[in-house]
Every structure is written in structure tokens, then in C-alpha cells.
Amino acid sequence: MNQKLGLRLLGEIMRWSDEQARDEFRWLKLMSRFRYDGYEDFRAGARFIERLSVWLQQFKQQDREVAYDFVKKRLVYIGPAEMQLLVERLYTEIVERGLIRVVAEARHLPTYGVWRDPAAVKDLAALKRKTLFMALSDGARIDEFRRANVGILSNEQIVVATQLDGSKWKDLLKKLRKEQGPDAIFEAVYLIDDFIASGTTLLRFDEDEKVWTGKLVRFKATVSEAHATLGGTLAIANSAPIHIHHYVASAFAESIIKQRVSEMRHSSADADWLDRVTFSFGYILPADLPLTIQSTEPFKQLVEAYYDPALESRHSRVSGIESMMYGYRECGLPVVFEHNTPNNSLPLLWAETPGDAAKNIHAMRALFRRRQRHSE
């Protein structure tokens, strides 16, 4: 379907007047070209305008204007340019400033005085090399981070995962010690990921097993395993700060993840390592962005009326809230990334279900179809 035909079909679906159609078509062509057509799940002949036409047809006529208005005014689309900027800012605005503060404190200098002190500059270079960067998921854009810092960071201090085998740990230490001396170990760690909304993947309490679990706990186990694999040799200093950085975070995640760390620290034995954990975020979404059960805007009625409980699963129950009506753990985000739509976003934007006519359950159609990471 070409764009001209798609726009004409959309005008008929929405029953726009000629004047309104002209105004909307200008906006649609602009946003399609520069934003939404880049969504990675779209295919030639079925990009934003075509998908929007299909998506809107699932609604009753009186609901279509509400749905269209929500997409036009409330949707947050985070594209490659925004993500690249957040990747590039990580080192210059977060990492380097943190390293300078550490050196300044050790040398009893103001932060602006570090660059004027040759010994401090030398310390800064050494500490920079002894900082390890690890991806928490394949969304961490670790290759882009590496390319953005060519000549600043070594490839041998940037790794694509936290789960490393013994040979990889040995190789990392070997190359570090070749540059920094025979006893050098990593003195700081950055764990990097693209997005955090509910925080359950990073850290949560498993009510069934009565244990804390998540990527942060697995990272600590990996470090302990590395210690054993290396014959008692430390790869990461016991005092090393553990910095966890997300390029994008919900306002809820910013607060809840710190709360969970505090709860684990005070409820678990041998959890003093959590005192070394800090968090940073490239961008925090506005606190009033989510659509929630308490919201009064018209789209809320569509979220509830056009929902299929088939989305609920073992994975959704892990969050403590089984319903997926407002997304995973009811985060209610109107957020789409160019590479995928998170399950914390409103399912009415991304879900595809068969429905059940016999039970009067709506078959959901996706505007930005989500690639599922979890299967039952």
C-alpha cells in the first residue's frame, strides 16, 4: 500500500472532513517520515500510516478519535538519535565526573583542580582503566558505547554480558595487568542497561522461594564464581563501587529500585555489598506520564474495554499484579522505543491476541507490535 492510498483509507476510517484530513495528513506524513516509520518491526508496505489504519479499525467509530488523539498527543517515541545521545552522555556526564570526584577526594583537591595536578591526572587515567563496563542485557547498546569512547576507554574493559566464564575473566585480568601492573584488579564496575520501568528484572523478592533474585543478585553470584574460578584471585576489588546505569527510567523505577536495595540490605545476611551500589539514569520519564487506574482521560475507557486477559501469564504474576491491562505491573507507559515496545507500556499499543467471541473478549491489534522476550 502506498502512502497516498494509506492516507485516503485513514481519512475514510476516521470520517474526517476535507479540511481536517489535510491538516492531519500533514502531521502524519511528517511524523511517519522522521519518526515512526523507523520502528524496527515495521515492514515495507506496512509502516506507520498503514499500521495506524489497521489499529484504529479495531475500535468502534465513536472511540477512534479518542485513540487517534492519544497517539498524536500522548505517545512518547524514543528513536535512535535520542538513544545515541544518551549512550554518548554516559561517559562524559556520569562516568568521568564520578572518577574525577574519587581522585579529587583522594588527593584532597577540588574537582576542578584535578586536571592541573600531574599526579592526579595520572591517578585518573589509572582509575579509568580499572573501571569495568558490563551490559545487563542485549539492549545496553554496549557496542555503541564502545564506539562512542574509542581512544578514551579500552575494548578490554567493556564486555557484552555479566555472565562471564573463567577464561574471559582471566583474559580481562591479564590485559589489565599488562597495562597497570602485576597486581592490578578492577576497582569500579558499571552495569549498563537501556530501560527500567518496574525494576523487577533487576531486583525483586521471590515470594514463592522466599529469596531475593534478579540481575543484580546474579551479578554478585557471578563475581563470587569468578573468584573461585581464578583460584582465590580477585577480579574486582571487594571495595569496588557498583554503579548501575539505565539510559531511560520511569519515575516509579527510580524510587522503587532504591527501596528494594534498602529492603534487601536490611533483611538479608551477607548483603553489605549493597552499600556499594549506586544508581544513575540518562533520562527519567515524567512522573505524570503513565496512564493509570486513577486517570480520568478518555483513553482509559478504551484500555479497559478493549483488553484481552489472554495476555496474563506466569511472567506477569511475578510482578505481584497479574493483570496486564495497564502493562506489566500496571506501569501504564505510553512509551515506544524504535527497536521494540516494552511490556510496561499500555498493551493496547503493542498486543496482538486472538480474542474470544464466545466470551465477548476483544481481539487486540498492535500499532507497534512487540517482540516478546518471555514465553510460557
Over the stretch 124-153, which tens digit does the pLDDT of each residue have?
A: 999 999 999 999 999 999 999 999 999 999
What is the pLDDT, as a whole number, of residue 373? 61
* pTM, 2 dp: 0.95
What is the pLDDT, as a whole number, of residue 374? 46
What is the pLDDT, as a whole number, of residue 44? 66
Share of the chain above pLDDT 90, in %: 93
SS3 sequence of the chain: CCHHHHHHHHHHHHCCCHHHHHHHHHHHHHHHHHCHHHCCCCECCECHHHHHHHHHCCCCHHHHHHHHHHHHHHCEEECHHHHHHHHHHHHHHHHHHHHHHHHHHHHCCCHHHHHHCHHHHHHHHHHHHCEEEEECCCCCCHHHHHHHCECCECHHHEECCCCCCHHHHHHHHHHHHHHHCCCCCECEEEEEEEEECCCCCCCEEECCCCEEECHHHHHHHHHHHHHHHCCCCCCECCCCCEEEEEEEECHHHHHHHHHHHHHHHHHCCCCHHHHHEEEEEEEECCCCCCCCCCCCCCHHHHHHHCCCHHHCCHHHHHCCCCCCCCCHHHCCECEEECCECCCCECHHHHCCCCCEHHHCECCCCCCCCCCCCCCC
pLDDT at 2 over 90: no
Cα dihedral value 106, 93, 154, 168, nearest 10: 90
From 10, 16, 57, 56, select the one nearest 29 (Cα to Cα): 10
What is the pLDDT, as a whole number, of residue 318? 86
Average pLDDT of the residues in 35-40: 95
Over the stretch 279-313, which tens digit does the pLDDT of each residue have? 999 999 999 999 999 999 999 999 999 999 999 99
Over the stretch 65-124, which tens digit does the pLDDT of each residue have? 999 999 999 999 999 999 999 999 999 999 999 999 999 999 999 999 999 999 999 999
pLDDT at 376 over 50: no
Residue 45: pLDDT band by 50, 70, 90 thresholds?
Answer: low
What is the pLDDT, as a whole number, of residue 150? 98
Across the chain, what does the average pLDDT equal? Answer: 95
